Copies of this chain bind each other. A is one copy, B any other.
């Protein structure tokens, strides 16, 4: 094991630079907002503008969607990714999107500022090795069935390949509780900080699955010490092609950021 592993103590802590936005080690709390999926050129530009105005620092949107059923919407593909890139550039927001296949490494290397590995691929070791060779930073979501140790081990696959810019993202784990989509495991925040030098962000949208739980879990994540939030935002959630019921409207997203800034200040951080 080389000296650059997730588990190694790093007295400085890692700061990951995502298209000019610094994340981790006490830097301002990052706010990633945007729709579940890029649905059209027009809508992603419109939503990008709305999340930027609300205070987001990065823009998210899926172009390749891993869906449980082969018969549901699978994303707009490369065209969607180019719409996202243009929308981010128009607003001055770096972009985040999920990579699901080694075959699209070149496309993501060109277009995406922060390459997301989704929960279903957390142990897709071929994909981890491939992003370990990329020059772009990686956002590694926790598997919804994975222990924190397994998650850190998956981060090791990326670091071991030479890519040191890894951000971890807790997005809820599977439990017996049916009133939320998954159970947000906020204790992952202090544990990851004890055991690694990597930044950790929280995705309260997928963890809860209900837009009306997103604000309180976001405030809790900030208080727990998270380095960022990733939140689904849609201006017409009732018409979204996927995950509408868990998306915040821009006005509620803005209010969340305002309240979040107050909590961040209370623990000595900016947002």
Contacts and interface: CB of A to CB of B under 8 A. Distances in A.
Interface of A: 1, 66-71, 100-103, 120-121, 123-127, 143-150, 153-154, 156-157, 160, 173-180, 183-187, 189-191, 194, 207-208, 212-213, 216-217, 219-225, 259, 262-263, 265-267
Given A123-B66, A212-B190, A71 B156 contact: yes
Contacts of A101: 102, 126
A111 to B, nearest CB: 18
A241 B9 CA distance: 30
Nearest to A157: B70
A169 to B, nearest CB: 16
Contacts of A221: 220
B212 A1 contact: no
B179 A173 contact: no
Contacts of A191: 179-180, 213
A76 B217 CA distance: 40
A223 B213 contact: no
Given A102-B102, A267-B259, A187 B213 contact: yes
Contacts of A150: 68
A70 B102 contact: no
Nearest to A208: B187
B183 A187 contact: yes
Contact of A156 (B70, B154, B187, B265): B70
Contact of A263 (B146, B212, B263): B263
Nearest to A259: B267
Which of A191, A212, A221 gathers the greatest number of chain B CB atoms within 10 Å?
A191
